[in-house]
Chain A
Amino acid sequence: MAVLEQKVVGMTGDEAVAYAIKQVEPDIVAAYPITPQTIIVERFSEYVADGLVKTEFVAVESEHSALSACVGAAATGARAFTATAAQGLALMWEILYIASSLRLPIVMAIVNRALSAPINIHADHSDTMGARDSGWIQLYCENSQEAYDTCIQAWRIAEHPEVRLPVMVCLDGFVLSHTLEDIRTLPDDAVKRFIGKPPEVRVKVEVPVEGGTEIVDAPYKLDPWAPVPLTMGTFAMYDCYFEYKRQQEEGMKAALRVIEEVGREYGELSGRYYGLVHPYRLEDADVAIVGVGSSMGTASVAVDELREEGYRVGLLRIRCFRPFPVDRVREALKNVKAVAVMDRAMSFGGPGGPLFMDMVAAFYGGAHRPLMANFIYGLGGRDISVADFKQVVKTVYGDLEAGAVREPMRYVGLRG
């Protein structure tokens, strides 16, 4: 099948997300504004006001209610979308766990922003990294084109019957959300065809009948016309809770496979292939930069410049952070001797940043264990330049020569 003809539209990251969601046309969008996500909500409201979408826009009174409304809607089998950042995501925290545990395929765009205090509206990953245990699939985008593309793929991933988990599509605040980019957009009908109808999932329920009970197959949704009414959001004692958590994990495992499948299918349509990880010039690299998000674009320029200078360096951008793609990461870095793990968030008091801890765990127990050096950068929107990345790589070369990582955690661009 040939790659589709795509219209190029100049849009910011927020606008690209809003546009993608317009093409998806979910049943409801329930959202509360927070910088730097506001443009998504505003642009979508305009589509609604102009009658361009049949989506019900619910202008909820808080982010907690935004996700709660999405849970209610998704429970009826409807497609539900929301978007938020930082404090909004933090406010939704308890509902994140409920959404994933109820196996609801909600899609949420997170415009990555630093968590207060001090209040800061700029890009860092403390918000979504703080939610990494919540059972949501987390995909980090390098640019607004990817944000557009991922907002379309997310539905196929979330709704896959073996996955049935909600998806966070992450894009850096201001850097992507408010910066204009040329976005190649698919035609409306191609998007609708790609996402299709949500596949139905069923559960076996025992119901009373004359003289006893019988087991019936019921669709997993709130449907007053279904022959069997479903009860969702139940109470579990210690005798059965554990099993549901194990089941959720199985959804995450399936997601590793499904994300790659969907990324491939999308590539055939658009010419842009997506996977769990995006390696760059790693084939013969001694040192690799590993990280998530938009700064990996900057890092790739540093990689090219360092290559010109004779360094054998490469980059591994991790696109899918949850589930963590252990096999793909090990494969990509199998010949690398030392890794600069870039964390745009901290885990206070931890043995490293969130990505660093996952990287070290991923390699523990494997035959090949490159040196891992942790670099904390970009908190609260602190900029990171090509020169900064080059310095990071040279520092890691120093560690390689010394035979050990000389400092467990380093900070890039910090005063003092």
Chain B
Amino acid sequence: MASEGMPFPPSWREAPMGGAAYKPSTLLRTGTWRLGLKPVVDEEKCTGCGWCHIYCPDGAANLVDGKAKINYEYCKGCGICAEQCPAGAISMVKE
């Protein structure tokens, strides 16, 4: 499940008190969850409206220089961005 091997300290003494979380989930590349389809942005059609960024459950669609850019490290391939894009600029494509 974890992308980075054994994430726990070697001894119970070092576990942060009370079970406080101590690593960001950004270390977990959920992009590995995709089942063969990934969203691809047609930059010519993309108007930079930003709705994909709003709808994405994983924050994997971001506006970079006015255009939608998919962060494939985290994109789970759900297809919501492609479905919702008002300009039809995103399509689900075989990896």
Contact = CB atoms under 8 A, between A and B. Distances in A.
Contacts of B20: 203, 205, 218, 220, 230-232, 234
A243 B12 CA distance: 5
B17 interface: yes
Contacts of B21: 205, 230-232, 234
Contact of B8 (A203, A230, A240): A240
Interface in A90-141: 101-104
B23 interface: yes
A189 interface: no
Summarize A's interface: helix, strand, loop or mixed.
mixed
B36 interface: no
A101 B27 CA distance: 26
Contact of B15 (A102, A201, A232, A243): A243
Contacts of A230: 20-21
A389 B19 CA distance: 47
Chain B at the A interface: SS class = mixed
A64 interface: no
B17 A208 contact: no
B5 interface: no
A233 B27 CA distance: 20
A204 B13 contact: no
Nearest to B23: A206
A103 B20 CA distance: 10
A48 B24 CA distance: 42
B26 A208 contact: yes
Contacts, number: 67
A246 interface: yes
Sorting the interface of chain A by its residue count into under 10, 10 to 19, 20 to 34 or 35 or more gives: 20 to 34
Interface string B7-44: 01001110111111111101100000000000000000
B24 A206 contact: yes
A388 to B, nearest CB: 45
Contacts of B23: 205-206, 213
Contacts of A103: 17-18
A164 interface: yes
Contacts of B11: 243
Contacts of B16: 203-205
A240 B15 contact: yes
B4 to A, nearest CB: 10
A363 B12 CA distance: 29
B22 A204 contact: yes
A411 interface: no
A102 B19 CA distance: 7
Interface string A313-355: 0000000000000000000000000000000000000000000
Contacts of B22: 203-206
Nearest to A218: B20
A207 interface: yes
A218 B23 CA distance: 12
Given A232-B21, A243-B11, A244-B15, 11 more contacts: A102-B19, A104-B18, A203-B20, A203-B22, A208-B24, A220-B17, A230-B20, A234-B19, A240-B8, A243-B15, A244-B19
Interface of B: 8, 11-13, 15-24, 26-27
Lowest 10 A-B CB distances belong to which pairs? A243-B12, A231-B21, A203-B16, A103-B18, A246-B12, A206-B23, A243-B15, A102-B18, A205-B22, A208-B24
9 contacts: A203-B16, A204-B16, A205-B20, A236-B19, A243-B12, A244-B12, A244-B18, A247-B12, A247-B15
